[in-house]
Amino acid sequence: MSGILVVAETRRGELRDVSLELVSTAREVKEPAGGRLTIAVIGADAERFAGDLAADGVDEVLTVSAPTEQFEAHVWQRALEALIESEQPALVLLGHTIDSMGFAPAVAARAGLGFASDVTAISWAGGPRARRGAYGDKLQAGLEFPGKACTLLTVRPGIFPVAEAASGPAPARAVSVDLDGAARTEHVEYRDAAAGDVDITKAEFLLSIGRGIEDKDNIPRFEELAEKLGATLSVSRPLVDAGWMPSARQVGQSGKTVKPRVYLALGISGAVQHLAGMRTAETIIAVNTDPEAPIFGVAHYGAVADLFEVADELEQALG
């Protein structure tokens, strides 16, 4: 088995960024791994993405036609199993995304592959090596995959850069897989996030609040503070879980990814899923009473302080 197979991800007709991030990931080990770098896209309309997938370093684009337009975990599982069977890659890369969580581990399990999820770095030494978090990202673990001819890794989105387009098109090949009857769930519909008043991904300045605000009754005060600051209010997941704020305001892996000029986080500890949504903001300022809060690891400025006291002072300073 040789070469690297990257599995692209699309949703509702759009190619997701992680697909081309994976190409950058693959290129880090392409040489030592030897063999070709192919990128596969699965879907009812797979061919139309072939052009977009011709990134620098990609040797071939594979398209697999699926009977359903939208993602279905079991269909994708069978498609990937067939691709691994036919292409015999040494390394398979997917994004660590909601979709891939639905099928990638099953593929690895059934085929007895090497496996690790949410990896943040890879290298090669006679075989793939990967790095991922441990104890909730407090530590980092180095992984090996002894005795595995093929290893499947899901890669944390937003870590690797999006690969640039190649100068010309890449050869594309359709791979035929019998996927009829593979689906085992029935798609009913998509529902967009409650049409929020606001698109936080467009805001230049976000004031973000988390569990630290303790009480939903405190939210109006932070809405006002956001206004005074000239910021848009966003939240971390727990506030949406509790029903205090609509999910349109949520920053994080299952919320929105934001890249404002300033991200001011009050009372957010920085769970991995949240950091995924904001770590690329230009200036991150974090206020938290816990000096070990993970958010200080990505913030540019931090203060170990009580967010209410700081909010008090901000309110006074701004008049």
Partner 1 sequence: MARDPKYDILFEPIQIGPKTLKNRFYQVPHCIGAGSEKPGMQAYHRGMKAEGGWGACCTEYCSIHPESDDTSRVSARIWDEGDVRNLAAMTDRLHQFGALAGIELWYGGPHAPCMESRATPRGPSQVASDFELNIFPRYMDQDDINTVQQMYVDAAIRAREAGFDIVYVYGAHAYLPFQFLSPFYNRRTDKYGGGFENRARFWRESLEKVREAVGDDCAIASRFAVDHLLGPISIQVGEDGARFVEYCDDLVDLWDLTVGDIAEWGQNAGPSRFFEENHEKPFTGQIKAGDHTNKPVVGVGRITNPDTMVAIIKSGQFDIIGAARPSISDPFLPKKIEEGRFDDIRECIGCNQCISRWEIGGPPMVCTQNATAGEEYRRGWHPEIFHPAGNREKSVLVVGAGPAGMECAMVLGKRQMAAVHLVEADKEIGGCVNWISQLGHSDGKENLFRGSARGLGEWKRIANYRQIQLDKLKNVEVHLGSRLSTDEVLTYGAEIVVVATGCHFATDGLNAATHAPIPGADTSLDWQLTPDQVVSEAKRVGKRVLVLENEAYFMGVSVAQKLAGEGHEVTFVTQAGDIAGYMHYTLEAPMLHRDLERLGVDIHTYTMLEKIEPGVCHAYDVWNPAHTEQFEVDTVVLCSARISDDELYRELKDNKDRWEREGIESVYVIGDASAPRMIVDSIFDGHRLAREIDSPHPEMPLPFIRERRLWGDASNDDYLQQLKNTADVALA
Partner 2 sequence: MKIVVAVKQVAALDEEFELIEDGVRVDVDYLEWDLNEWDTFSLEAALQLRDDAGGDGHEVIVITVGDEEAEEGLLSCLAKGADRAVRVWDEELEGADVLAIARTLAAVVEREAADLVLCGVQSSDAVNGATGTALAGYLDLPRVAVVTQLDWDGASGTATVHRELEGGVIEVARIRPPALLTIQTGINEPRYATLRAIKQAREKPLEVLGLDDIGLDADVVHAAAGSRTVALATPDRGAGAEMLNGSPAAVAARIVEIVQERMSG
Burial of 74 (0-12, 13-18, 19+ CB in 10 A): middle
192 binding partner (options partner 1, partner 2, none; Cβ < 5 to 8 Å by kind): partner 2
Least spacing, CB of residue 181 vs partner 1, in Å: 46
211 binding partner (options partner 2, partner 1, none; Cβ < 5 to 8 Å by kind): none
Burial of 142 (0-12, 13-18, 19+ CB in 10 A): exposed
d(CA 152, CA 298): 28
User: CB neighbours of 74 closer than 8 A, spacing ≥ 6?
Assistant: 103, 182, 183, 184, 185
Among 309, 310, 314, 318, binds partner 1 (CB under 8 A): 309
Distances (CA, A) of 167 to 4, 12, 55, 172, 221: 21, 27, 8, 15, 53
The residue type found at 196 is: G
Residue 312 interacts with partner 1 (CB under 8 A)? yes
Among 56, 144, 211, 259, binds partner 2 (CB under 8 A): 144
Residue 96 interacts with partner 2 (CB under 8 A)? yes
Closer to partner 2 by Cβ: residue 50 or 234: 234
Among 14, 45, 214, 292, binds partner 1 (CB under 8 A): 214
310 binding partner (options partner 2, partner 1, none; Cβ < 5 to 8 Å by kind): partner 2
Residue 316 interacts with partner 1 (CB under 8 A)? yes
Residue 15 interacts with partner 2 (CB under 8 A)? no
Residue 202 interacts with partner 2 (CB under 8 A)? no
Residue 159 interacts with partner 2 (CB under 8 A)? no
d(CA 185, CA 222): 42
Q: Which stretch binds partner 1 (CB under 8 A): 82-90, 107-115, 156-164, 301-309?
A: 301-309
* Count of residues touching partner 2 (by CB under 8 A): 101
Neighbouring C-beta atoms of residue 256, cutoff 10 Å: 20
Q: Which helix (H) or strand (E) holds 40?
A: strand 37-43
Least spacing, CB of residue 287 vs partner 1, in Å: 13
In the range 253-292, which residues lie near partner 2 by CB under 8 A?
A: 253-257, 261-262, 264, 272, 282-287, 292
In the range 165-194, which residues lie near partner 2 by CB under 8 A?
A: 184-193
Least spacing, CB of residue 229 vs partner 1, in Å: 17
Neighbouring C-beta atoms of residue 225, cutoff 10 Å: 20
d(CA 87, CA 297): 40
Of the CA atoms within 13 Å of residue 55, those in its CB half-sphere come to 23
Name the residue among 167, 153, 161 with its Cα closest to residue 24. Answer: 161
In the range 41-100, which residues lie near partner 1 by CB under 8 A?
A: none
Residue 304: helix, strand or coil by DSSP?
strand
Residue 304 interacts with partner 1 (CB under 8 A)? yes
Binding site for partner 1 (CB under 8 A): 214-217, 289, 304-306, 308-309, 312, 316
